[in-house]
Each structure stands twice: as C-alpha cells, then as structure tokens.
Amino acid sequence: MAHNHAGCQSPRDYFTEQLLTILVCGGLAFVAVQLYRYDMLRHILAPQFHLPVLIGGIAVFGLVVLRAVAVWREAGALVPVSDDPTCQQNHVHTASCNHLPGLPGGEPDPNLVDDHGHSHDMSWMFARMLILVFPIALFSLGIPNSGLSSEAQRKALGQDVSLDPVMLKEMAKAKTTKVEEESSASDGAVTRTLRTESGLMIREMIAKDGTETYSVIAQGGEEMRFNTLTEAAFDADKRKSYAGQTAIMEGRFNPIAGGSGKEFTLFRQKMTCCGSDAVPLKVRIVSPQAADRKYFDWVRVKGVVQFRQVPGQDRYIPVLMLGDVTDIQLIPNDQVKNEYEF
C-alpha cells in the first residue's frame, strides 16, 4: 500500500545513512591498517592473524571507495522536488518518481511502488553507528596497548613485577631522579649514573645515533637475611632505608610458572625450633635476561633491593633487581652452608 507524506519525502535520511556508513566503515579500515602498521595487534591477537587483519582492512577500504562513488553518482542523478512535475502533495510513489532513490518497484503493478514498511525514525541508525564507531574510539585512546598483554595481566594479579625497559626508562626520566655521574666518550656517546627516588641506581647509555639503553647498577653489596627484607616489607621506614641497597643472598631457585624466565623466586626455610615448623621465606628476583637454572638449584644472587606493592592490596614484597644474569651464581649442593635461616 502506498503511503502519504506532508509533501514529498526528502532523501535526506537515505543519504545521511549512506554517508555515515561510508565514514564509519572507512574509519574501521583505517584503524585495521594502523593496528598492523604500529604492531598494536600483538597485544590482542596471535601473530598468524595480523596479516589477515591488514588484508581485511584494505578490502573494506576498497569497498568504501566503490560505495562512495556509487552514492555520489546517485546523488547527481537526483531530481529536485521543485523540478519534478510528477511530485504533488500526497502523491503515490511510482517508478517514474526520481526524487526518492532506493524505493523498490511494486508488484504486481509495475507502476506502483510498495510502501515496504520503511520508517523515518533515525534513532536506530545512529545507535548502529555508535556501536560501529566504538573500535575507532578505542584506537583514538591508544587501545590496544601493553596493558592488555599477558604480561600486564600477570602484573595485575600480582604474579609479575618485572622491570621492563619501558618502565626502567620512565623511572630514569622521572623528575625526582638525580644524575650521580656523567661521562662522554670520544665517539659522542654519553653514559650517566642515575639514582631514583627509591634509591635504585640506573645506568643510562645514549649512543651517538641517539639510541638509549638502561640497566640496573648493583654496587659492592652486603649479605642480607631473608627475614630482614621480609620484615622490612611491612614497615614504611624500613622499606625506605633498605631500598636502593645492594644485597647478596643465597637460596633455592624457583622459576615463575608461565613466565619469560627473567623472573624467579629465591626462597629459604626459616626454622624456629625444629624442621617440622619451618616456613619458607621468599624474595622475588628480576633479571634482564632469562636465567638458565633449574628448580631447587642453590644459587647466590646479587641485586638492588626494591619493594613493590602487590596490585589491589596494601602490602609490599621484597624484590632484587639484577644488573646482569651473571649476578646469579650456581653453588653446588655440597658447598651449601645451611639450608635453614634462624
């Protein structure tokens, strides 16, 4: 059945929907290509799916161009209402009516266009556009990023306290970090020794080409007890006192399950009166390279003391930051002085 209008229906709604769809789909194609270009897909997708995302983005962009050309030609063929002699108030749309594109020809009468139940309410169209534009909004906010990686999820669960190069650089660039020493090489390279607010010593090396590298500096060091650092973790003054010191500790090697090999737990048993009441004392160790050690190996470790807050909890754990993987020395079992700490 044909329907009436207060005058002829405007093609505004039709072209508004087409242009918004072209714009949003073009934005999605752009985001797909940019995610591949800047390697942001590694945070949310396995490597084998990266190339298909790029190909899909290019394909969508091609379809967007084709549709844009079609809509442009369709708009050019549109006859203004004032110039259409067949357009009268409350007229019946027929196949000869060219001011409202897209209306299908009716059946069985070829001269009558079906009402096709269309609505002039644009609210659903805008709701659909809002859903489609959501990925574009996330990309504009820098998402996906490293916060969605498996490493970040382990940190959120308190399973990972690694000091990755990005975090180390951020600590070195902090306003509260002070330059302790600076030297320049003949080739223009600059080396700085930095001390962070927490007492962590960092070596900053800036090459001639501007490349920056950062590493933790361990000083001479002194032997420390597990119980000393465990107790210090519960006292703010003690944390401040021990942070930044270089500690030498011996204990059993325990790798972090599912980790990269750069983190492990060093533990030792604390005995109060006898072996049956012994409890493990633990210190988290973070190395810049993967440690090639087995579970329960007795090792001697040298690193800088730090205390890290467990995410979502009001407690801290002691952490030793190693300057190099060589700061982990294997000690044969027959040379272990004592399994327990008293």
- Round the average pLDDT of the chain to a whole number and report it: 78
Q: Which bin fits 100, alpha (ψ -120 to 50), beta or left (φ > 0)? A: beta
pLDDT given at position 213: 84
Alpha-carbon distance of 267 to 317, in angstroms, equals 13
Residue 158 has pLDDT above 70, yes or no: no
Alpha-carbon distance of 158 to 312, in angstroms, equals 8
pLDDT given at position 147: 58
Residue 168 has pLDDT above 70, yes or no: yes
pLDDT given at position 301: 94
Beta strand 279-286 pairing with 263-270: antiparallel
Alpha-carbon distance of 15 to 336, in angstroms, equals 81
Nearest 10 degrees: CA dihedral of 180, 184, 190, 191?
-40
Beta strand 246-255 pairing with 263-270: antiparallel
Tell me 291's DSSP state. Answer: -
3-state secondary structure of 324: coil
Six-digit token string for 188: 């223009």
Query: Is residue 155 a contact partner of residue 148, using CB atoms and an 8 Å limit?
Result: no
pLDDT digits (tens, 9 = 90+) for 305-340: 989 888 778 889 999 988 888 889 999 888 887 878
pLDDT given at position 68: 93
Tell me 269's DSSP state. Answer: E
Task: Name the superfamily (CATH) of residues 222-341.
Answer: Nucleic acid-binding proteins (2.40.50.140)
Residue 191 has pLDDT above 80, yes or no: yes
Which of 108-117, 136-145, 206-215 shows the lowest per-residue confidence on average (mean pLDDT)? Answer: 108-117
pLDDT given at position 89: 52
Residue burial 195-227, b: 16+ Cβ < 10 Å; e: rest = bbebebbbbbeeeeeeeeebbbbbeebeebebe
- Give me the mean pLDDT over the 284-305 stretch: 90
pLDDT digits (tens, 9 = 90+) for 53-88: 999 999 999 999 999 999 999 888 875 555 555 555
Of 18-32, 76-90, 275-289, 322-336, which has the strongest mean pLDDT?
A: 18-32
Tell me 8's DSSP state. Answer: S
**Rg (the chain; Cα; Å):** 34
pLDDT digits (tens, 9 = 90+) for 109-137: 454 444 444 554 566 777 888 888 888 88
pLDDT given at position 8: 44
What is the distance in angstroms between the CA of the first residue and the CA of the last residue of the chain?
93
pLDDT given at position 149: 54
Comparing C-alpha atoms, which of 259, 318, 248, 323 is closest to residue 293? 259
- Give me the mean pLDDT over the 290-318 stretch: 88
pLDDT given at position 4: 41
Tell me 327's DSSP state. Answer: G
Residues of each domain in the chain carrying CATH 2.40.50.140: 222-341
